[in-house]
Homo-oligomer: A and B are copies of this chain.
Amino acid sequence: MKGKIALEECWTIPETFQSFNPSQFAGKGVIGDDLNANLLDVHGKRLQEMDENDVEFMVLSLNAPGVQNVTDPAAAEKLAEIANDKIEAEVLRDPKRFAAFAALSMHDPAQAGRELRRCMSEKKGFVGAMLNDFQSSGPDGNTMLFYDDPKYDEFWKAAHELKAPVYLHPRTSSPLIKEMMWKGRPWLDFSALGYANRLNMHTLGIITGGVLDRFPDLKIIIGHMGEHIPYDLYRIDHKLDRSRFPNMPMRKDRLVRDYFGTQVFITTSGHFSTPALICAMTEIGARSICFSIDYPFESIPNGCCWWDEHVSSVINERDYVDMGRNNALQIFPRLTEGLHGLKEMGPAECGVGGLRAKDGEVTFGMYNKDFNKRGKKIY
């Protein structure tokens, strides 16, 4: 599909390697050739692979856990500022292909709001913010700051006023939790399941904490096909029993389900499952879903093969191009303005649908173009 927009795509600056070296996740050769190099790169291999796979646009964000892992408030604020200035420069080199999410220190809600305002008002490349789950805090890094605490209303108010959607991204455990829970079985801490399990709790905390009610122009986005929430919506709404939890701040006349499509959205990043996509479309609707990859933790060709060759033969054309592109323009109106100037595209413009055979050419089926010989993939 031509014109794809991807929203959860990581990038980093060397400064972050001090507090967190992603190569601990994957040394050279394990995820592509060099994870750290892929993270640092914008206009090189990344852009080339975008071209090769019809990804028109990426919104870049500082690699997780990023600023959320810096326990010293001043250092965290400084890191965010540096990262935001650098990514602005990168975006301005090619604003038709890139935008950015602001990185924010979440130690001080007021300061987070100010930095978000600086990015959204004084700079040209930002379309929202990305927060990597809880903010690590305290001398040993074991204090976890969650943004459903009422003191964060000051931050959410800024996001609401700036119409800056906030993408919530998972991160690794705090040291104490790691020690208590994942010692000897680290694979459980990370992206296989632990990431989603922690972030869906934080997300549900924000929703049930009434943040979206108090700030009705606020939008939040979560990746990985919704961090399990779409599959569990019946149980979530059923078990948030108001007579049992009378102090839960969320509007008494609302279900969690009600926020999808207006204030809560999901992306497909790193979860390229067609049945999960169909389930999510049924439970929260195509308009709540955006394509994303999760580069460089996921392969651009792999995510795009799924979308271009597998999903395209299962999902109707209009929902397909909306999820692949147009929904992002609804959620992030900044993408349609200023330097980016992205426009809605229909199926035909995206190369979707239509008979691809040239006149006189014969069509044998959509899965293998030769009638007699099985196509093999070359790499």
- From residue 144 to 181 of chain A, which have CB atoms closer than 8 A to chain B? 144, 148, 176-177, 180-181
Provide the bound-state CA to CA distance between A281 and B372, in Å: 29
Contact partner, A228, options B49, B53, B231, B275, Cβ 8 Å = B231
Q: Is the CB of B305 within 8 A of A25?
A: no
Nearest Cβ on chain B to A177's Cβ, whole angstroms? 8
Q: Is the CB of A244 within 8 A of B354?
A: no
Q: Is the CB of B232 within 8 A of A284?
A: no
A339 contacts partner chain B, Cβ-Cβ < 8 Å: no
Of all chain B residues, the one with the shortest Cβ separation from A315 is B282
Query: Can you give 20 A-B contacts (C-beta < 8 A)?
Result: A31-B362, A32-B371, A33-B371, A188-B204, A188-B205, A192-B240, A193-B204, A194-B201, A230-B231, A235-B273, A239-B270, A242-B357, A243-B363, A255-B354, A257-B316, A258-B354, A272-B367, A288-B316, A302-B367, A369-B379
Provide the bound-state CA to CA distance between A359 and B359, in Å: 48
Identical chains in the assembly: 4
A360 contacts partner chain B, Cβ-Cβ < 8 Å: yes
Q: Is the CB of B144 within 8 A of A180?
A: yes
1/0 per residue, CB under 8 A from B, across A213-253: the answer is 00000000000110010111111111111111100100011
Nearest Cβ on chain B to A314's Cβ, whole angstroms? 5
What size tier do the contact residues of chain A reach?
35 or more
Q: Is the CB of B200 within 8 A of A373?
A: no
Q: A285-B318, A354-B254 are in contact. Are A370 and B362 (CB under 8 A)?
A: no
Provide the bound-state CA to CA distance between A144 and B204, in Å: 25
A binding-site residues for B, Cβ under 8 Å: 25-26, 29-33, 45, 49, 52-53, 142, 144, 148, 176-177, 180-181, 185-188, 190-194, 196-198, 200-201, 204-205, 208-209, 224-225, 228, 230-245, 248, 252-255, 257-258, 260-261, 270-276, 278-279, 281-288, 298-306, 309-310, 313-319, 347-348, 353-355, 357, 359-379
Q: Is the CB of A302 within 8 A of B371?
A: yes
Which B residues lie within 8 Å of A372 (CB)? 32-33, 45, 49, 299-301
Which B residues lie within 8 Å of A32 (CB)? 364, 371-372
Q: Is the CB of B302 within 8 A of A272?
A: no
User: Given A232-B273, A276-B279, A305-B374, 16 other A-B contacts at CB below 8 A?
Assistant: A30-B243, A32-B364, A32-B371, A49-B372, A148-B185, A185-B209, A192-B239, A224-B235, A234-B276, A258-B317, A258-B354, A273-B283, A286-B286, A299-B372, A302-B366, A368-B377
Contact partner, A279, options B196, B275, B377, Cβ 8 Å = B275
